[in-house]
Amino acid sequence: MENKKFDIGTILSITTGKLLTEMGNIYKILNYMTGDNLYTHQLPRVSSEMKPVIIEQYPELADVDASGVNKGNWQKFLNEQINRFGERLEISPCGLFEHRHINPQEELEQTVDPSKIIIIPNIP
């Protein structure tokens, strides 16, 4: 699969754990990197899987400290990172053993009381 460019806010959202982009971009980068079609409840696990994959590609991102980022200063922080790293970076998909595919329903059942899950059948 060909490498693809993503904006630095999306990339740093994965590496720092701070949301610095629209949620749709999180799905795009993680689905691209894993070749999977992820559900919302899978994003935290897969972000943790992909963080070291991104850091391996860009070790300098490991030094980005976003611990003080909040609703009032996130844009200033992001602009500083754009000045430091550029607006977009090229990301490679992960290797075969860096992502564990788990059936979304089975993963949900592992994290939530199954009695609280309501499965709606496909309606023709």
Residues with Cβ within 8 Å of 121's Cβ and at least 6 positions away in sequence, in order, are none
- Give the chain's end-to-end CA distance (angstroms, integer): 35
pTM of the model: 0.79
State pLDDT tens for residues 58-93.
999 999 999 999 999 999 999 999 999 999 999 998
State pLDDT tens for residues 14-73.
999 999 999 999 999 999 998 888 988 889 989 999 999 999 999 999 999 999 999 999
